Amino acid sequence: MLILSWNLFHGRSLPPTRQSLFEQFAASLAGWRWDVALLQEVPPWWPAALARASAADHRSAMTSRNSLLAPDAAIAHIAARDVDHLFAKGLAPVGDAEILDRHVTVRDVSVELSDHPPLLVRVE
C-alpha cells in the first residue's frame, strides 16, 4: 500500500502567488500514484473537488477553526493520527519515504506548492 502524506499549507505556495492554486494542487495529487492520501491544512471547500480530480473517495474532519459543525467523531479520530500511528498499528514501511516534486509554474514563475514536501511511503 502506498500512503501519501502532504500538508497543503492552506492552498498556498512559496513564494506567494496571490491567486487560487487549486488546479495545480489537484493536478499534482492526481498525477501521483498512491492508495491513501493523508492531507492536512486543506482549504475546507477543496476536499470533494480534490477527490473528484483524483478519482478517489474522501473523508474529511474539519478543525474547530474552520467548521461551524462538530466533525464526525470517527473521522476526526482517524484524521488526528499521522503516519507514525499507522506504523504503530502494525503497518511497516518498506524502504525510505520518497519526497515528491511539488514545483509548478504560475504566471511564468516557478513556485513550490505548500511549504511542506509531499511524502510517499510504501507499507506492508
Which set of grid coordinates corresponds to residue 117?
Answer: 514536501
Collapsing DSSP to helix, strand or coil, 109 comes out as strand
Residue 12: the pLDDT is 94
9 vs 31: CA distance, rounded Å:
19
> In this structure, what DSSP letter does residue 70 have?
P
pLDDT tens, per residue, the chain with 124 residues: 899 989 999 999 999 998 999 999 999 999 999 999 989 889 989 999 999 999 999 888 776 665 554 444 444 334 444 445 555 555 666 777 888 999 999 989 999 999 888 888 888 7
Q: Structural domain boundaries of the chain?
A: 2-122
114 vs 34: CA distance, rounded Å:
19
32: left (phi over 0), alpha (psi -120 to 50) or beta: beta
Query: CA angle, 77 as apex, 67 and 50 as ends, to 5°?
Result: 55
| Contacts (Cβ under 8 Å, ≥6 apart) of 23 | none
Listed in order, strand segments (DSSP E) in 47-118 are 98-99, 103-106, 109-113
